[in-house]
Structure 1
Amino acid sequence: MKQERSSILNWVITAVILGVVIISGIDTNFSPSEFLDPGNVKAMSRFTGGLWPPETSAVFLNNVFKLLLETVEISIVATVLAILFALPLSLFAMRPRGEEYSRKVSGSALWSFRWALYYLSRGFLALLRGVPELMWALVFVVAVGLGPFPGVLALMAHGTGILGKLYAEMFESVDQRLVEMARVGGMDDLKLLVMTRIPITLPMFLSYTIFRWECNMRSATLLGFVGAGGIGTQLMISMKLFMYQEVSTLIIAIFILVVLVELIGQYLRTRILDQNRPINANTLG
């Protein structure tokens, strides 16, 4: 009987999901036949035809290289700043726990303040990551003007929200017995972070951080559409001027950059895992 109810519930859930997908497709005017419309086919042919051959003049390629370098620099600075802001925020965003700590402050104003700080920091991190990078870029372009600086601030704000939540949940996963032993030894929250939580979670910490840098790298290529620096600025200008040969070169350059960043990130993560892999009997041969 119980198995029959579970089977019926699974069918109901499947039907609901299918219904949501169909309704969403209808509301968004999804129509594969639009690709076969003669007018659309002609427009796409004109666009793709204009992409070849790519622009290869020395002046333009030199400008593309400078913009690619600026894009990489935006992502690096933004990621470092996000780490610096996310680490202290992650301390406050960790759920208060631990029997020893609870007995020490339970019922006191400090305990209530700690919980208030937890919810405030969680809410602040949710706000930071809830606003897309492009929206942050628009805000900072208005605040500080055009150029790479608002791009750095936009990626930093969004990255702080992402990394702060990831770090907090990662540090919460540390064996609580180790945390209590360190706390009994006289460590405060900052020393616990530096000497216990980060060393234990170091491979995951570095993996999350490198992945966030990869995401910032890809996002930085788009921030130029709102005037926040990087190669996206030139891409937007070339698109508006219908300089499709330049667009082709820029797309190829962005693709190469993203692939290189992906390979670097994969290499660094592999090195981290190899250096932190536990030794066992099979490894020793």
Structure 2
Amino acid sequence: MSSVATPSYDHLLGQARTQAVRKARLVAVILAVCLAALAITGFFDPARFIEGGPAIAQLASEMVPPNFSRWQHWLKPLLDTLAMSIAGTVLAVLLSLPLALLAAANTSPNPWVYHSARTLLAALRSVPEIILGILFVAAVGFGALPGVLALALHSVGMVGKFYAEAIEHVDPKPLEAASAAGASRMQVITHSVMPQVLPQLADITIYRWEYHFRASAVLGIVGAGGIGFELMAALRLINYAEVSAILLAILACVVVVDGIGAALRKRLR
């Protein structure tokens, strides 16, 4: 009878050491890149921090105490910001799901469609919301609509990518069983793919909605409506006490939105 050769202890120990050395080298390279990035951006220049200290202290003194005297005027812009975040999320999901199915290797009809969908998603997420906001303000005018379009279009690139990755990681056995039973491509997707990924897609969607609320506040600065418009007006008037009050109002709303998102994720599990 032939005996099966088993790796010796020294051989296994040598493999473990080799893997540990490779990981250590990778970590060292990552740390070196991070330190280089900090150095290039001037993080290790103490003189700049020392010179900026008095200006920061002066700005902080002008922001305290916050001025909430105009809080009634912020309710409508805050509601607009919330509406923008919800509408942008809905539109992003409606556009992202079909693209994600085309950009996932296990549901895409062919490699050409797969690479085209991946390229489109990469192109959409490469343009920041603020740039899209400026373009849509120029196209459709001021207000919440350009903010919704900017949020949705940029988020299609991100949400579609996350959706596609979730779809690619589903268990292939139900897909193979459905295909062997004669199910069409659409039936395989609706009965074998979607039931597996719906919880993950819900998590991704809720996280994106939370992000959209914060992004909506920034888009208001370029004329896309919402509380960002009030923030920009206070900054232009150099009314830093009101700026700090608006920032606190935005913070309170972000905390509420995050809490709602956490509650929704628990219910959808």
Give the TM-score, by structure 2 length: 0.85
Residue 265 of structure 1 pairs with residue 261 of structure 2: yes
Letter of the structure 1 residue corresponding to residue 37 of structure 2: S
Contact 1:96 1:115 (C-alpha < 8 Å) held by counterparts: no
Residue 69 of structure 1 pairs with residue 79 of structure 2: yes
- 2:31 is aligned to 18
Gaps of 5+ in 2: 1-13
Within 5 Å, give how 1:31-180 maps onto structure 2. Answer: 31=44, 33-34=46-47, 37=50, 40-57=52-69, 60-96=70-106, 114-180=110-176
Give distance in 1, aligned partners of 2:129 and 2:46. Answer: 33
Within 5 Å, give how 1:185-264 maps onto structure 2. Answer: 185-264=181-260
Gaps of 5+ in 1: 98-110, 274-285
Q: CA deviation at 1:11?
A: 4.6
Q: Compared with structure 1, are the counterparts of its residues 165 and 10 closer, same or farther at alpha carbon in structure 2 (3 Å cutoff)?
A: closer
Q: CA deviation at 1:255?
A: 0.4
Contact 2:77 2:226 (C-alpha < 8 Å) held by counterparts: yes
Q: CA deviation at 1:115?
A: 1.8
Letter of the structure 2 residue corresponding to residue 47 of structure 1: L
Q: Compared with structure 1, are the counterparts of its residues 176 and 140 closer, same or farther at alpha carbon in structure 2 (3 Å cutoff)?
A: same
Paired-residue identity, %: 38
Cα deviation per residue 1:53-80 (whole Å; 9 max; x = unaligned)? 22222xx212211111111100100100
Give distance in 1, aligned partners of 2:21 and 2:167. Answer: 40
Residue 27 of structure 1 pairs with residue 37 of structure 2: no
- 2:5 is aligned to none
Give distance in 2, aligned partners of 1:250 and 1:95. Answer: 46
Q: Number of aligned pairs? A: 256
Q: CA deviation at 1:23?
A: 2.5
Give the TM-score, by structure 1 length: 0.81
- 1:100 is aligned to none
Q: Compared with structure 1, are the counterparts of its residues 183 and 55 closer, same or farther at alpha carbon in structure 2 (3 Å cutoff)?
A: same
The range that moved more, 192-201 or 142-151, is 192-201
Q: CA deviation at 1:156?
A: 0.3
